Structure 1
């Protein structure tokens, strides 16, 4: 009798768990990180589909739920490195104009790091927290935006509360930029870390948008404190 083939879980491309031995000179934390990467279905999927990292699926899943990346949308992606969110946005907003009969969208990416070009997106290297950075982005945009999305994150310090405050400062900077450039009815999406200080941002967003929700998409690791705030219906 033939051996029954093992079925895939459906969430990824890898059925077997890969274990990594600790090599000489490699810290245990590095070994555990490598093992997690090798067994992460989203990492496998990103490699198979040519996406620049598993984070691409976070914005994909958020857009599947809230539908803000539509043909013709004018989108700003803050903290766009390595470019996964740009890859997802380009076809959805029809930035290349290859969807006949659909409006053509505009996509602007900004990051502190240099980002490899993505067809259909305009990308600039810039520290968004420096003076007049927001004005530079507005000049590049050349008008209003329909969506401002931010995946900005500060370098980890190892101190949970410090990291939380740093990322919340980035989120607030992104939010105030969104208030300045969003068209009426626009959407703001940003990564935050659970830790207490996000309450003030929530209150601020609820004054400016008709609906504000917190979401942890399936692509966000369960052991991570990150979540995403999605604010829709900008009041103008």
Structure 2
């Protein structure tokens, strides 16, 4: 149950069985303008505005015909893609179940599974212009471990992008505070024309979340015999 305080801010009353942390989370959700806006505009999560804001800055979606959404749940990013690019082919993958999205092929599957890349590409029908990754490892409460586990997903997503992207394509991935590590950034700069970090306005100020945006894929390297 909630009650209004001065200025219209929603306060959550304590309830039996609810922890203080969950009460704070619920209160934050109720007072988050992006949560209210997402509900009003039919997006499944406030994360949709992170992609919209990144697109406004970097023109990520311009001209894209095929898009891969890694860590698609609950589907906000793919909703943005479909609204902006109704003719684009979109495939997504997540460990969690995701309600259907019109025009999006969704796999409930571990992206790290051996068969995942082939299944995504078979469904997409051609090289993507854009690979999006909102993947993050489940936290264990140890900051260094959490960062390493999520960085492993970023590295895997980057490797996948470099295997499948069309020349000139774009890779976008969630990273944690401090951004992608220096070795990975150096590798991205070898594979893409520009590599930048960004924190969109809709990303909560207290969050350690950032995004790395790599644009202008230079094409797959052909190894000599």
TM-score by length of 2: 0.90
**What does 1:27-38 align with in structure 2 at a 5 Å threshold?**
27-38=19-30
Report the Cα offset of residue 72 of structure 1: 4.9
Contact kept, 8 Å, 2:70 with 2:92, in 1: the verdict is: yes
Is residue 167 from structure 1 mapped to residue 150 from structure 2 by the alignment? yes
Q: Deviations over 1:102-131 (max 9, x none)?
A: xxx211111111211111212121110122
Report the Cα offset of residue 181 of structure 1: 0.6
Q: Deviations over 1:204-234 (max 9, x none)?
A: 1111001000000011000000000000000
Is residue 138 from structure 1 mapped to residue 130 from structure 2 by the alignment? no
What is the CA–CA distance in structure 1 between the aligned matches of 2:153 and 2:168, rounded to whole Å? Answer: 23
Structure 1 unmatched runs, 5+:
1-14, 96-104
Q: 1:74 to 1:215 in 2, by over 3 A?
A: same
Residue of structure 2 aligned with 1:224, choices 200, 207, 211: 207
Residue of structure 1 aligned with 2:53, choices 28, 43, 61: 61
Contact kept, 8 Å, 1:52 with 1:84, in 2: the verdict is: yes
Tell me the residue number matched to 2:175. Answer: 192
**What does 1:1-236 align with in structure 2 at a 5 Å threshold?**
16-95=8-87, 105-194=88-177, 198-236=181-219
What is the CA–CA distance in structure 2 between the aligned matches of 1:164 and 1:72, rounded to whole Å? Answer: 31
Structure 2 unmatched runs, 5+:
1-6, 220-225
Structural RMSD (CA): 1.5
Tell me the residue number matched to 1:11. Answer: none
What is the CA–CA distance in structure 2 between the aligned matches of 1:58 and 1:119, rounded to whole Å? Answer: 21
